[in-house]
Amino acid sequence: MLLDHQYQVVGHCDFTANSYCICLITSSQVAVAVDGNKTREIQFVSVNDGQLVKGRKLLFQHTCYGIAHYLQDLYLTSGTALYKYSTSGDQLNKLYEDKYGIGTGNIMVNISGYILK
């Protein structure tokens, strides 16, 4: 959803599956974690002349629930693992994997680079 200064809806964007999380990439672009039956992706969305415009997609083999952006890297949670990817979609490493049923969901990276789960 795109809101104006009075918090009125002025635009929206439909996805092919459920949107779980969103993070800011630039002042006019966000990345949305989208996951469903056969859809596991990050969809980039920009604001252009007051309209939401879908851009490129990154496709994944694992589920995509949480997303954060820090220093040109994306941090994704799958429900059982935390991954670090480049913004072009290259997996840089798997930072954590749940082996005890605790799980991973939403994620945030603070200004100092600390990952908060």
Q: How many domains would you assign to the chain?
A: 1
pLDDT for the residue numbered 106: 65
Q: State the CB neighbour count (10 A cutoff) for residue 31.
A: 24
Per-residue pLDDT of the chain (117 residues; tens, 9 = 90+): 888 899 999 989 999 999 999 999 999 999 999 999 889 999 999 999 889 999 999 999 999 999 999 999 999 998 888 999 999 999 999 998 887 766 666 666 665 555 555
Residue numbers of the domain that contains 102:
2-116
pLDDT at 98: 81
Give the residue among 31, 23, 16, 21 at the shortest CA–CA distance from 88.
31
CATH number of the domain within which 55 lies: 2.120.10.30
The pTM of this model reads 0.85
| Angstrom distance (rounded) from CA 71 to CA 100 | 30
Distance CA 60, CA 39 (A): 9
pLDDT attached to residue 109:
64
Q: Contact at 8 Å (CB) between 15 and 34?
A: yes
Q: What is the C-alpha separation between 3 and 72, in angstroms, rounded?
A: 26
- The reported pLDDT for the residue numbered 117 is 53
